[in-house]
């Protein structure tokens, strides 16, 4: 099964996966990939443009390979804000979309405490893109295709 975990920065997407994935599952998390590829002592969320370019290419390759094994293992992918094209692909793969959203106030407080200031814009963009959709403050919500 493919699980696509969405939500704003600092919502708890990685924590949701830690609570649900097994050791034998595949987890594709851009932040963890960047940290694994960065030098010693690198900040968990602030990476150079060059590193992120490498990480994005590695993520793309990892996704394509992981999709080939959905009949054998569960795959968890963090995708903060998937495009319509990405959602269509996930639908073709019979993915379960999980939205982790504890609410804007909680997310903004977490971002202010733990992330770079520019992440506040990403949070605002995530919530603004969801205007008119139901998204009450909940620890987690999920939607299956």
Taking the domain 2-144, which CATH number applies? 3.40.50.300
Task: Label residue 88 by pLDDT band (50, 70, 90).
Answer: very high
What are the helix (H) ranges across the chain? 13-20, 30-37, 49-67, 84-92, 104-114, 119-129
Q: What is the pLDDT of residues 37-48, one digit of tens each?
A: 887 766 666 677
pLDDT at position 87 is 94
Of 109, 101, 111, residue with least CA distance to 137:
101
Rg of the chain in Å (alpha carbons): 15
- For the entire predicted model, the pTM comes to 0.84
């Amino acid at each position: 099964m493919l699980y696509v975990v969405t939500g704003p920065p600092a919502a708890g997407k990685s924590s949701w996966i830690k609570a649900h994935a097994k050791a034998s599952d595949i987890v594709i998390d851009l932040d963890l990939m960047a940290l694994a590829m960065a030098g010693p002592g690198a900040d968990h969320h602030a990476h150079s443009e060059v590193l992120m370019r490498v990480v994005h290419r590695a993520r793309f390759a990892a996704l394509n390979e992981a999709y080939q094994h959905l009949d054998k293992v569960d795959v968890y992918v963090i995708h903060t804000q998937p495009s319509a094209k990405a959602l269509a692909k996930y639908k073709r793969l019979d993915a379960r979309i999980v939205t982790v959203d504890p609410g804007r106030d909680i997310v903004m407080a977490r971002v202010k405490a733990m992330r770079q200031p520019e992440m506040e814009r990403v949070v605002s963009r995530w919530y603004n893109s969801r205007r008119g959709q139901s998204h009450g403050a909940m620890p987690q919500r999920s939607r299956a295709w």
